[in-house]
Structure 1
Amino acid sequence: MAARFTILTPDAQFADDAVIERQVGGADVDFEIRRERDRKKIPDEAYARCDALLTWHELKVDQSVIDKLTRCRIIVRAGVGFDHIDLAAAGAAGIPVANTPDYGTSEVADHAMGLLLGLLRSIPAYDQALQADPVGGYTLEAGHLTRRIRGTALGIVGLGRIGTATAMRAKAFGLEILAYDPYIPRGQEIALGITRVETLSDLLAASDIVSIHAPLTPETHKLFGEAALSVMRPNAVLINTARGAIVDLDALHDALQAGRIAGAALDVLPEEPPPQPLPPLIAAYHEQPDWLRGRLILTPHAAWSSPESAADARRLSAETAVAYLRNGALRNCVNEAVLDRKKLRR
């Protein structure tokens, strides 16, 4: 008789009763689906009885959670980023952590290009002006950032899957593509037909548009603070579809207000949704003073979103969990360096 497994999803981002996940798991896998943001709202016994934890991004998986995972053999992130999971604590407990990097690539790259076009063709600004006054707003006055895109320089920070997909899209628009990523192999830029830049400062100084596609790590936390923003060109715009905490919102607020950069488009924030009271940049976006109007676009961590992408994230993450539980096949492990294999649970 085949062994039965229980997979706990504490922070499900879908409305149904795990239809896709249950199709992947089959008859011998039970799914316990909850929709919490607070890890303390999950009963200890739910953590204790699960063979795998399949988490999204709403619930922090820290030492206090990992201590409760007495039976758990694997933690799978239904998505790419894993900065909310304590990799070292999981590794010390003998629990591998895997992510799902093979979903949403097209959507995020498309979204980055959409934000680029929205800013530099002033599409939201024109739309908002016409909504407010369909007759009087039928002018070009709202297009503060409108410019020719062909021939300008796009600097990509992080040339992984999504950074590469964004670069390929941008080439079709006639942009010159620069990339900064100290972790990619030498020569990858040659294969892609783009220019490698050796330092972040050099990239920022040479770019009209900067698009962030890096993971959130201690190295990249607030990477775009006052120092980095001061190197950017006054006519440059910043786009972030990666992780919110890579950008220091207060430093960005000051740079926009002082005119040190031209504009920004953010799909991600350090805290989502933003806290109350609102950070100065988000408060200004809400109030739309003259100095900011048409220069900032926000979207609600939506870059990854499409029905197809959501289905991929669910299917692929469930496949990763089930494959490990059934036969020990481990893919996309992100804590290999700190994983105590002597403590692996079989």
Structure 2
Amino acid sequence: MKPLKVLVPDAHLRDLDVERGVSGDRLDYLVFDETDPAAIPDETWRSCEAILIWHRMKLTRDVVAKLDNCRLIVRVGVGFDNVDGEACRARGIPVSNVPNYGTTEVADHALAMLLHLVRGLGSYEARLKADLVAGFLAEDVPVVRRIRGTTFGAIGMGRIGTAIARRAAAFDMNVIYHDPYLPEGHELGLGVERVKTLDDLLGRSDVVSLHVPLSDKTRNIIGKRELASMKPGGILINVARGGLVDVDAVHDALKSGHLAAAGFDVLPKEPPVPAPALIEAWRNDEAWLAGRLVVTPHAAFYSQAGYLDMRTFSAEILLDFLFEGRLRNNVNPGWDVKAS
């Protein structure tokens, strides 16, 4: 049997040894390392029978229009906002993601950011590097505080939100969450408090952490108004999607002192070039921001084990649909309904 053509347009790793180890000779991977769809020949788009896409390229409506033979698109990761799901639906192409990898890594990363801030690790390290004698001092560090008994507010309570909430509870924090998409009674199974509105969560939480996908409804879900609604001295953590937060508003909230600190693994533009004012101030070690911001390069998901899971599961999702007709983790329902 002739192997099916699977296009990988924006591969991080060109060898694809993991994927080939799963699929054997049933799939022929056409591997590119591009960010611009135009860099890939039209014939390649038109002839491929499936796509494995990472997060470095956007599959817009114009690109989807070229997919004459594509039967499935698999997003190698959780977020799928770089794929036009509606355009795929109109073309009868299902889109799947890989939600069951990296959950523990992202949850650990969020708590690591919080602990880094509230235990002053960055400030203590900078002080000691500058002067081993004068820097050998515990006091006068921004943000450092006891978190036991404070309130951790999770926006979204899916897999990652739940994993992070469990960790926050283990640090004796009071956990509340807001998620209008979960069924009534969901909170009873978790044993934590559910609040009805985002404003209620913001007004009660000492730490606010985001765990929702990026969509038109959630873009800039945390902006100037929401930051002003947070308790004075609050901390904001975002390990979900960069577009959820207005970073310019965060800059102003931090500079005014209303927001005590923030941790970002994701940014609206990645890499953040040109750098927004907040990132520029952080890079320049401006005194007003010292010890109050931690930034990592969209790395919360990463570990060798998590990477292996992500790549293995992606290939398995391809095989299950292409050879057995079993669709997993579909994120554009209605793709199989013919337009009238």
2:326 corresponds in structure 1 to 329
Report matched runs for 1:220-239 at 5 Å. 220-239=218-237
Find the residue that maps to 2:28 and give its secondary structure.
strand
Task: Give 1:33 deviation, angstroms.
Answer: 1.3
Name 2:3's counterpart in structure 1: 4
Pick the aligned partner of 1:160 from 158, 161, 169: 158
**Partners of 1:219 and 1:169 in 2: how far apart?**
28
Partner of 1:99: 97
Report the residue type matching 2:9 in the other structure. P
1:99-123 alpha-carbon deviations (Å, 9 max, x no partner): 0000110000010110111111111
> Which residue identity does 2:15 align to in structure 1?
D
Distance 1:261 1:240 in 2: 14
1:119-164 Cα shifts (integer Å, max 9, x gaps): 1111122112222323322112462111111111000000000000
Alignment-derived partner of residue 43 in structure 2:
45
Contact kept, 8 Å, 1:153 with 1:175, in 2: the verdict is: yes
Q: Verify: 1:290 aligned to 2:293, yes or no.
A: no
TM superposition score normalised by structure 1: 0.95
Q: Distance in 2 between matches of 1:191 and 1:96?
A: 32
Deviations 1:181-210, CA, capped at 9 Å, x for gaps? 001111121211111010000001000000
Please state whether the residue corresponding to 2:25 is helix, strand or coil: coil
Partner residue of 2:200 out of 199, 202, 206: 202
1:190 paired with 2:188, answer yes
Cα distance, 1:286 vs structure 2: 1.0
The structural deviation recorded for 1:257 is: 0.6
Aligned mates of 1:125, 1:36 — CA distance in 2 = 39
CA contact (8 A) 1:129 1:142 kept: no
**Do 1:53 and 1:74's aligned partners in 2 also have CA atoms closer than 8 Å?**
yes
- Offset, 1:327: 1.9
Give the secondary-structure state (helix, strand or coil) at the position aligned to 1:27: helix
Amino acid at match of 1:234: P
Structure 1 counterpart of 2:266? 268
Output the CA distance in 2 between the equivalents of 1:13 and 1:176.
39
Letter in 1 for 2:212: A
Question: Partner residue of 1:320?
Answer: 317
For 2:250, the equivalent position in structure 1 comes to 252
For the residues of structure 1 that align with 2:31 and 2:132, how far apart are their CA atoms? 47
TM-superposed deviation, 1:28: 2.1
**Matching residue of 1:73:** 71
CA distance in structure 2 between the aligned counterparts of 1:125 and 1:185, rounded to whole angstroms: 43
The residue identity in structure 1 corresponding to 2:178 is Y
Deviation at 1:342, TM superposition (A): 3.6
How many angstroms apart in 2 are the aligned matches of 1:49 and 1:319?
Answer: 21
Alignment correspondent of 2:126 = 128
Query: Aligned to 1:262, what secondary structure does the other structure show?
Result: strand
Give the partner amino acid of 2:197. Answer: T
Q: Does 1:64 align with 2:62?
A: yes
Tell me which amino acid in the other structure corresponds to 2:60: D
Deviation at 1:20, TM superposition (A): 0.8
Shift of 1:55: 0.3
Aligned residues: 339
Partner Cα distance (1:162, 1:257) in 2: 30
Counterpart-to-counterpart distance in 2, 1:38 and 1:130: 45
SS of 1:255's equivalent in the other structure is: helix
- In structure 1, stretches of 5+ residues that fail to align are none
My pick for the range that moved more, 38-47 or 81-90, is: 38-47
Aligned counterparts of 1:264 and 1:232: Cα–Cα separation in 2? 13
Aligned residue number for residue 341 of structure 1? 337
TM-score (norm 2): 0.97
1:3 CA displacement: 4.5
Mapped contact 1:5–1:51 kept (Cα < 8 A): yes
- Equivalent-residue separation in structure 2 for 1:193 and 1:95 (angstroms): 39
Q: In structure 2, what residue type is equivalent to 1:175?
A: M
Range moving further from structure 2, 163-172 or 120-129: 120-129
Instruction: Kindly provide the CA deviation profile for residues 192-249 of structure 1, in whole angstroms up to 9, marking residues without a partner as x.
Output: 1111010000001000000111111111100100010000011110000000010001
Aligned partners of 2:189, 2:20: CA distance in 1, in Å?
A: 41
In structure 1, the partner of 2:172 is 174
Q: Distance in 2 between matches of 1:66 and 1:326?
A: 22
Quick check: 1:93–1:340 contact (8 Å CA) kept in 2? no
| Distance in structure 2 (CA, Å) of the matches to 1:242 and 1:258 | 25
**Do the aligned partners of 1:216 and 1:245 also contact (CA within 8 Å) in 2?**
yes
Q: Does residue 18 of structure 1 match 2:16?
A: yes
Structure 1 residues 142 and 282: alpha-carbon distance in aligned structure 2, compared to 1, 3 A threshold: farther
